[in-house]
Amino acid sequence: MKKAGKGTVPVLRNNLFVKICLSFWLTTLFMIGAVLTFDWATETGPFRTKHPPRPGDPLHAQARAAVWIFEHEGRPALVQFAGRGVPGGFHGWLFDSQGAELTGGSAPAGSADLAVLAAGPRGGGSVSFTNRDMTAIRVVGSTGEVYALVALLPRPPGPPPGADQPPYMIGLRLLVVLSISGVICYLLARYLTAPIFGLGASVRRFASGELSARFGPSLGRRNDEIARLAHDFDSMAERIESLLTSQRVLLRDISHELRSPLARLAVALELCRKQSGSDLSNNLDRIEREAGRLNDLIEQLLTLNRLESGISEAKKAAIDLAGLIREIAEDAAFEAESMGRRVEVTSCDTCLISANEGLLRRAIENVARNALRYTGEGTAVEISLRRTSDSGKPFARIAIRDHGRGVPDESLPHLFRPFYRVGDSRERDTGGAGLGLAITEAAVRLHGGTVQASHPQDGGLMIEVLLPIQ
């Protein structure tokens, strides 16, 4: 039994769906980050340089080629060469040291002055002189004559489409990428984990006693590893259901068959009492007690078999649980007087539930009598009934607590198993056959509730029953 608001699993730590979804999504984020980091390091993509460096070496090579053609092939060859344009998009004009244009083209205004400046004594070496639109390169020919090549500076290429977009556009695009990748990762994670969650629900239904729970048919034509796991679970569930059904049928048949010999034994016992003397009275009483215990055991087996088969599920009606608890406490208190013990009802809230009164009475009585048997002499068995809630739904919480020695911690999960008894409780004078709490658990489960055992801090044993309120 889980109390409301407690025992919830941390979603981000233990939820397989969240793990898979976040793993895929974080992988996408890392990939985007790696691409952006590479673009930033190489100055490509959104980090590319807006203005590429101006080419220099092709212009010097073109100037030397023009001078060589002029000196070796003459001016007509130079004019023809200059008419093809300068490779790379430069259009140049060759000047001599006096500023005369040699290519026969119409040079831009100011180009002759720039050429004289480059070819004059101030030029020196291969220094270039550049104004805002033109550049002039000093070239010395093979004969020692000085020339100057004037060329228009190329206009820097415009930024590529989208290069000058505002920063928020990059963020918007990143948001779109993350949204689309998030949806895809969500769908993929759901496709992988939804069958696992469905299989887990079927396992819980099967563990709660619904032996007909199956999951394979709901997967349709799916044939991956999860589908094969579901089919393996269905095969296991079918086999377990078959074995348990056979066990219940065998137990029921044996119990029924034993009742007839017991009835005849009771008749024979009465005849022996009439025909025998007082010297056999003690032995006959012993036989009668053992026969009665055997008859009670058979009745408990039949009751447990009916509960586990769900036969009594339809026989329910609205009952006042508080009144039922008071009646059970009064009956238990009457028995407790002869044992030097007490029964106290510490709280009793009004609760109306839908239940089979006979089964529920027997379930609670089993726990109360078991507590009376093991509580310490002079102590009280405490019974409480409180309204509570679990996951927003109203429940009735019945707690029955004794002040005995309790049971080992490792025995708590097994107390409600049929025929399970703890250590010294196997003695016939104090312990039963181990069916009382098993009947309680089956009856409570049949009513949609749960039951659990725990150790209070100050000792003893507490049995808590949680039943849904109508």
Closest listed residue to residue 437, CA positions, set 457, 451, 447, 448: 451
**Residues 143-158, buried b or exposed e (16+ Cβ, 10 A)?**
eeebbbbbbbeeeeee
Pick from 258, 219, 215: nearest CA to 237? 215
pLDDT tens digits for 204-255? 888 877 778 888 888 877 777 778 888 888 888 888 888 777 766 766 667 6
- Smallest CA-to-CA distance from 464 within 111, 46, 1 is with 1
What pLDDT does residue 325 have?
93
Question: Closest by alpha carbon to 437, among 422, 427, 459?
Answer: 422
DSSP string, 319-334: EEHHHHHHHHHHHHHH
pLDDT of residue 414: 83
- Half-sphere exposure of 171 toward its Cβ, with a 13 Å CA cutoff? 3
The pTM for the full model equals 0.46
What local confidence, expressed as pLDDT, does residue 200 receive?
Answer: 85
Per the annotation, the verdict on 91 as an active-site residue is no
Q: 95 and 101 in contact (C-beta within 8 Å)?
A: yes
The pLDDT of residue 393 is: 87
Q: Which long-range contacts (CB under 8 A, 24 or more apart) does 113-118 make?
A: 114/148, 114/150, 115/148, 115/150, 116/148, 118/148, 118/150
pLDDT tens track, the chain, 470 positions: 444 444 444 445 556 667 677 777 777 777 777 777 776 766 666 655 554 444 445 777 878 888 888 888 888 888 877 775 544 444 678 888 888 888 877 777 877 888 888 877 654 444 456 666 788 888 888 888 888 888 877 666 555 555 555 666 667 777 777 788 778 778 877 887 788 888 888 888 888 777 788 888 888 777 777 788 888 888 888 888 887 777 667 666 676 667 667 777 777 777 777 776 666 777 677 777 777 767 767 676 667 666 666 554 556 788 899 999 999 999 889 888 888 899 999 999 988 888 888 888 888 988 998 899 888 888 999 999 999 987 788 999 999 999 988 888 888 888 888 777 776 444 444 555 567 788 888 888 888 888 999 998 888 899 999 999 87
How many other CB atoms are found less than 10 A from the CB of residue 129?
Answer: 21
Q: Which two tokens stand for residue 112?
A: 């002759």
Angle between the N-to-C axes of helices 16-42 and 167-207, in degrees from 0 to 180, rounded to the nearest 10: 160
> Is residue 378 packed enough to be buried (19+ CB in 10 Å), middle (13-18) or exposed (0-12)?
exposed
Q: Could you read off the pLDDT of 142-155 as tens digits, one per residue? A: 888 888 888 877 66
The one catalytic residue among 60, 91, 256, 403: 256
Q: Would you mind telling me the total number of residues written for the chain in this entry?
A: 470
Q: Which domains does the chain have, with CATH numbers?
A: 11-49+161-207 (no CATH), 57-152 (3.30.450), 225-309 (1.10.287.130), 317-468 (3.30.565.10)
